[in-house]
Amino acid sequence: MKQIQPVKQSTEQDFDFALGVVPPARFNVVAGKDGYAVFAMGEAVSGSLYHWHVAIGQAYWTFLGCITLTEAEVLAHVRAAAAEVAA
């Protein structure tokens, strides 16, 4: 299983803290209308498990998952959680 914990909403402060604690792994920012920022914290929780953080617009999300997740998989998990919250 690549996603270990459910995606949960986070805050801008938590996102910024996680980004600044250690150099991020797999960091990417995409600008524009559908822009986002995504990264895994630079230190593993255990083995290949990392805390992922995603910002889409003014919404922030986090979950524990494998570092082998693709960016598309990370975004799919987050967008599914966002859709559940919005429903």
Residue 1 lies in a domain: no
Show the beta-strand stretches assigned E in the chain: 8-9, 25-30, 36-40, 49-56, 59-66
- Predicted structure pTM score: 0.92
Q: Tell whether the model's pLDDT for residue 1 goes beyond 60.
A: no
3-state secondary structure of 75: helix
Residue 73 lies in a domain: yes
Dump pLDDT digits (tens) for 20-66: 999 999 999 999 878 999 999 999 999 999 999 999 999 999 999 99
Residue 87: which pLDDT band, with cuts at 50, 70 and 90? Answer: confident
Q: Tell whether the model's pLDDT for residue 3 goes beyond 90.
A: no
**What range does the domain containing 68 cover?**
8-86
Overall number of domains in the chain = 1
Which residue, 74, 69, 27, is CA-closest to 82?
Answer: 74
3-state secondary structure of 29: strand
Q: Are the C-beta atoms of 66 and 77 separated by less than 8 Å?
A: no
